[in-house]
């Protein structure tokens, strides 16, 4: 339980900050305290609510959260953090729509401030992405891949990723070059073996559904085509209901191992 993720116990002497967001068909929210989540919420919108505008969905997310977490927020000062900038001025807006007349009074039970957080690719601090990019790249290159049974770093350099130990000048000598290259060749051979074994395993699964068949001149076969690609074969608007096989057609000539010349209709 030392490293397990657990929810933080609430401290009602401090101010809460509610983080909400809404997508096309869902709403979500988190109630953190000092960066640690206390509780969270995820809900799918009904068909009626999915037809709302983005502003109304974001507004609905705030209202649902305040009703759900009333026990935490009632009679206390709290803040709401959202990524929809129009909600930032929600308190100062005139109530001109039925939705605002219905929902806005529910927000005034203790709301102190509405905060706007712009979307970013690295959570809340996009300017620090350059700082952590090298660490993310190192994590990927040193992560074990099940398909190759090794790490990308070891596949390229032929040795395990080095441990972060300070290098002492003069510690390495030329005698280790031959050993390093030999270890690299061993790693490359192991890598080729695992890749070849995975390819063989995948091929064996695919070949279970395949049969090797040969046809001669004069045989009658069916031709499989895709009507949504072959425009001349379209017979109806809904192509998924069109036939996939056409024929039977007579084989006139064998061109290759899997290529044949067929006697197609004059209208094709």
E strands, the chain, are: 16-22, 26-33, 36-44, 78-82, 111-116, 220-224, 245-254, 260-262
**29 φ, ψ (degrees, to nearest 5):** -160, 155
Which has more confidence, 9 or 37?
37
- Which phi-psi region, left, alpha or beta, contains residue 184 (left: φ > 0; alpha: ψ -120 to 50)? alpha
The first and second tokens of residue 157, run together, are: 């350099």
Mean pLDDT on 75-84: 69
Q: Ranked by mean pLDDT, which of 44-58, 115-129, 219-233 comes out on top? A: 44-58
Q: How far apart are CA 239 and CA 234, in angstroms?
A: 7
The answer to whether the Cα torsion of 227, 228, 230, 236 is positive or negative is: positive
Over range 245-267, report the average pLDDT. Answer: 84
Mean per-residue pLDDT for 124-128? Answer: 57
Q: What is the pLDDT of residue 112?
A: 47
The band of 120, judged by pLDDT with boundaries at 50, 70 and 90, is very low
How far is it, in rounded angstroms, from Cα 74 to Cα 78?
Answer: 9
139 Cβ neighbours under 8 A, 6+ residues apart: none
Strand partners, 223: 246
Query: What is the chain's alpha carbon radius of gyration, rounded to the nearest angstrom?
Result: 32
Q: What is the pLDDT of residue 113?
A: 47
Task: Work out the burial of residue 101: count CB atoms within 10 Å of its CB; fewer than 13 is exposed, 13-18 middle, 19 or more buried.
Answer: exposed
Tell me the pairing of strands 78-82 and 16-22.
Answer: parallel
- Higher-confidence residue of 226 and 37: namely 37
Biggest CA-to-CA distance, the chain: 89
List C-alpha distances in Å: 124 to 6, 20, 83, 105, 121.
22, 14, 11, 30, 8
Q: Is the pLDDT of residue 133 over 50?
A: yes
DSSP 125: -
Distance CA 252, CA 218 (A): 6
The confidence score (pLDDT) of residue 258 equals 81
Write the pLDDT tens digit of every residue in 137-170. Answer: 877 888 888 778 888 888 888 888 776 444 344 4
Q: What domains are there in the chain, each with its CATH number? A: 16-116 (3.30.420.10), 220-262 (no CATH)
> In the prediction, which pLDDT does 140 show?
82
Q: How far apart are CA 110 and CA 71, in angstroms?
A: 12
pLDDT of residue 170: 45
> By three-state DSSP, how is residue 218 classified?
coil
Give 89's pLDDT tier (boundaries 50, 70, 90): low
Whether 213 has a pLDDT exceeding 50, the answer reads yes
Look up tokens 């960066």; give the residue: 35
Lowest mean pLDDT among 22-26, 30-34, 226-230, 254-258: 226-230
């Amino acid at each position: 339980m030392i490293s397990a993720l657990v929810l933080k116990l609430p401290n009602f002497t401090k101010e809460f900050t509610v983080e909400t967001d809404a997508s096309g068909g869902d709403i979500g929210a988190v109630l953190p305290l000092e960066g640690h989540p206390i509780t969270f919420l995820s809900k799918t919108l009904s068909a009626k609510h999915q037809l709302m505008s983005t502003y109304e969905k974001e507004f609905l997310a705030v209202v649902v959260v305040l009703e759900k977490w009333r026990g935490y927020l009632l009679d206390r000062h709290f803040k709401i953090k959202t990524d929809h900038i129009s909600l930032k001025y929600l308190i100062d807006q005139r109530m001109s729509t039925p939705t605002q007349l219905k929902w806005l009074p529910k927000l005034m039970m203790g709301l102190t401030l509405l905060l706007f957080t712009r979307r970013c690719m690295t959570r809340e601090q996009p300017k620090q992405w350059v700082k952590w990019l090298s660490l993310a790249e190192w994590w990927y290159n040193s992560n074990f891949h099940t398909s190759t049974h090794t790490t990308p770093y070891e596949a390229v350099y032929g040795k395990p990723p080095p441990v972060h130990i300070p290098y002492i000048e003069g510690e390495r000598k030329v005698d280790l070059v031959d050993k390093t290259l030999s270890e690299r060749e061993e790693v490359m051979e192991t890598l080729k073996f695992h890749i070849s074994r995975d390819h063989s395993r995948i091929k064996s699964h695919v070949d279970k559904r395949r049969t090797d068949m040969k046809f001669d001149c004069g045989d009658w076969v069916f031709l499989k085509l895709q009507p949504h690609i072959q425009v001349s074969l379209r017979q109806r608007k809904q192509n998924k209901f069109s036939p996939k096989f056409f024929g039977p057609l007579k084989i006139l000539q064998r061109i290759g191992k899997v290529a044949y010349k067929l006697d197609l209709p004059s209208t094709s």
